[in-house]
């Protein structure tokens, strides 16, 4: 992660981040709050004076991965101390929140354990750790909002940037730990979000992705009193000069209101790509998950979105093997995937999270059954992703160029549908939007060539966005 301290920098900071984009954002802000203490970025943990492991509790075996990394860092910490130096070791994020006491017991060489709501206190924790015997543990949910205590100055995130607008969750899905590790839903005030967005643009961002555990549940206090929904926030952000593209993630089907759907129709800067987790296509499983919607509710939301923006591409999340899932339930999920069509998706086997309702539910599905279902589901999703990528071949559309490619003379960017696009071009295009013609589709990216006319565009032309548009012969 990055953090600039100028000539005063004498110490090095390395942050390893697991999990979602919100963790990436949190890691960047941790670097920002530590910059005044003289911490500048290190390339490796071995070169650092402080290492932060920013954890995620969503993925399977998250704690196992953490303790494996802590074992490796223990050796590095001992070697540093034997040489007369020191290494401050911190564990942050959702695993720290949920399992702080166990981390302190199993890895007593960890200096700081902090939850995702307390990283604004890191400078104080570092000072306390230098005096304390044993770990400094901060895993409460403080009354003050951390966003009110973060520095306004932040290191540049580059051409594309993340901006957290909402945290926490009130949905209490049966399988999920987020309400317990991130707390209740909180929406940042609109003025604070807009101010941070303007700072990101001033630092070079041309695309901003709004983040939240349930981002479309955002209802922030408005500058004139009352509150706005996410659709209104997007409309205000679309007026920021230099901000060319807008995205948001992760959304819940229950919170896709009419104004937000209309924003996809009305705002060219809102990209035609949406991550909308459904988890299952079975109403029985969705009820057991406490999702609060049916499969047909999801289909109706998708229909409304595609009516508003015919070129919309969807990604989603799927869990197979939730307790009680039958072959008929799994078949309903496969049918929903086949009917809706997804450009990309994340899929997982159900794994129990301690303290969640599903962990102790009857009807736990055998691992071999979950394995077989996951393989079948991922094969279908892979076919859909490949088909969507191939449908882009022959099309010309605006690409936001984000950096150099892997090969000499190559630059890379993002399509409106978030696909990486590689082509030959001058680095002066980085930070700009220019039309590109796609020549080939790959498993996870596209390649092509610059098209005629390289003027900046605020967003994709509507005529070229239809997912069903065939590639020219």
Binding residues for [4Fe-4S] cluster: 20, 56, 94, 169, 173, 176
Judged on CB neighbours under 10 Å (0-12, 13-18, 19+), 128 is middle
DSSP assigned state of 199: H
Do residues 270 and 251 make contact, with C-beta atoms less than 8 angstroms apart? Answer: no
> What sections of 289-417 are H helices per DSSP?
295-308, 327-340, 367-391
Angle between helices 327-340 and 367-391 (to 10 degrees): 10
Longest dimension (CA), the chain: 70
Nearest-Å Rg of the Cα atoms of the chain is 23
Strand arrangement of the beta sheet that strand 313-320 belongs to: 273-275, 313-320, 344-349
- 227 phi and psi angles, rounded to 5 deg: -145, 160
Q: Virtual CA dihedral for 254, 298, 211, 136, nearest 10 degrees?
A: 70
- Cα(412)–Cα(373) distance, integer angstroms: 35
Can you give 20-61 as a three-state secondary structure string? CHHHHHHHHHHHHHHHHHCEEECCCHHHCCEEEEEECCCCCC
Do residues 30 and 2 make contact, with C-beta atoms less than 8 angstroms apart? Answer: no
- Cα(208)–Cα(243) distance, integer angstroms: 8
Residues annotated within a binding site: 20, 56, 94, 169, 173, 176
């Amino acid at each position: 992660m990055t953090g600039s301290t100028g000539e005063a920098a004498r110490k090095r900071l390395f942050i390893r981040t697991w999990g979602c984009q919100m963790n990436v954002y949190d890691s960047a802000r941790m670097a920002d709050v530590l910059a005044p203490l003289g911490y500048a970025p290190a390339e490796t943990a071995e070169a650092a004076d402080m290492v932060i492991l920013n954890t995620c509790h969503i993925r399977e075996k998250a704690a196992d991965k953490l303790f494996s990394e802590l074992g490796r860092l223990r050796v590095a910490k001992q070697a540093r101390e034997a040489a007369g130096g020191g290494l401050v070791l911190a564990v942050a994020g959702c695993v720290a929140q949920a399992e702080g006491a166990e981390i302190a017991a199993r890895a007593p060489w960890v200096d700081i354990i902090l939850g995702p709501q307390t990283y604004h206190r890191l400078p104080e924790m570092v000072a306390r750790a230098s005096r304390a015997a044993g770990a400094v543990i901060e895993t409460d949910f403080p009354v003050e909002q951390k966003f009110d205590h973060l520095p306004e100055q932040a290191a540049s995130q580059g051409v594309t940037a993340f901006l957290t607008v909402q945290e926490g969750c009130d949905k209490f899905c049966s399988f999920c730990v987020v309400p317990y590790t991130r707390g209740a839903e909180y929406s940042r005030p609109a003025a604070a979000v807009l101010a941070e967005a303007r700072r990101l643009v001033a630092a070079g961002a041309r695309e901003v992705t709004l983040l939240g555990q349930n981002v479309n549940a955002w209802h922030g206090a408005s500058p004139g009193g009352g509150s706005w929904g996410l659709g209104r926030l997007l409309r205000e952000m679309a007026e920021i000069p230099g901000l060319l593209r807008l995205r948001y993630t992760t959304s819940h089907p229950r919170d896709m209101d009419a104004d937000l759907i209309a924003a996809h129709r009305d705002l060219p800067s809102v990209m035609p790509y949406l991550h909308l987790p459904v988890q299952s296509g079975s109403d029985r499983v969705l009820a057991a998950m406490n999702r609060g919607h049916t499969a047909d509710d999801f289909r109706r939301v998708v229909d409304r979105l595609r009516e508003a923006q015919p070129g919309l591409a969807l990604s989603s999340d799927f869990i197979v093997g939730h307790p009680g899932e039958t072959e008929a339930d799994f078949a309903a999920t496969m049918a929903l995937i086949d009917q809706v069509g997804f450009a990309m998706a994340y899929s997982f086997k159900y794994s129990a999270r301690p303290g969640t309702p599903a962990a102790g539910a009857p009807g736990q599905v055998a691992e071999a059954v979950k394995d077989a279902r996951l393989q079948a589901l991922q094969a279908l999703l892979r076919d859909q992703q490949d088909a969507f990528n191939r449908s882009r071949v022959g099309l010309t559309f605006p690409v936001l160029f984000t950096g150099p490619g892997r090969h000499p003379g190559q630059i890379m960017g993002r399509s409106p549908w978030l696909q990486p696009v590689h082509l030959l071009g001058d680095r002066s295009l980085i930070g700009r939007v220019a039309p590109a013609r796609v020549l080939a589709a790959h498993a996870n990216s596209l390649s092509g060539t610059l098209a005629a006319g390289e003027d900046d565009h605020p967003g994709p032309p509507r005529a070229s966005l239809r997912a069903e548009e065939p590639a020219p012969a």
